[in-house]
Amino acid sequence: MNRKVIIEDLGSSDYKEVWDYQTQLLDKTIAIKRKNRVSEDLEETPNYFLFVEHPHVYTLGKSGDLNNLLINENQLKEKGATYYKINRGGDITYHGPGQIVGYPILDLENFFTDIHKYLRLLEEVIIKTIADYGLKGERSQGETGVWLDVGTPFARKICAMGIRSSRWVTMHGFALNANTNLGYFDNIIPCGIRGKAITSLEAELNRKVNLEEVKEKITEYFRQEFEVEEFLSKVNL
């Protein structure tokens, strides 16, 4: 089993370009797995972890409800935002500047074959990361992601998650609100969940955070939780 992970920071990159890139990596990994089934000369499957910041964009999961997007095409253009219906789980969410998005493209057969465990470990990575900033992240029953003050009238989401898996290879991932403009969430019903607020590290701490520092913490906790043997750096696209 290959537990080395190729890590890339794509900086600020267009959503569709990165979605296509994820798909290329996933297809490449699946092709290796198919070849291994009929070959005696087995090739290790790679694992990737992409960091990215997207320009303003709304994405709707495959089972999501378009009614949870509260603005029309002209209003999207006015706000400098785009919209995509995509192939991950979950409903609608927002990505934009100041938000840390992570896309693990992992062959889970290198780690464990359990999607539920995969999501719980991703949540744990974020819970441990924000704990370093004095925040108590929690899980909310039936609502994937990381929340604050679960079970109170002040419950608010700080990190959304939505994934796709094919032949145990993952794509899409998480979006942690760091220095995010939360006003963009007013244009949607986030994750299709009514009556619960969205927050960010900046809003909770009343100061901007260093995004590179946060990404370093995420990387370290990801290494711990997924028992990564080594991170292999790759230059930006």
Catalytic positions: 191
CA distance 129 to 148: 13
Two tokens at 94?
């927002």
CA distance 52 to 50: 6
Is residue 170 within 8 Å of 164, Cβ to Cβ? yes
CA distance 45 to 43: 6
Strands 230-233 and 4-12: parallel
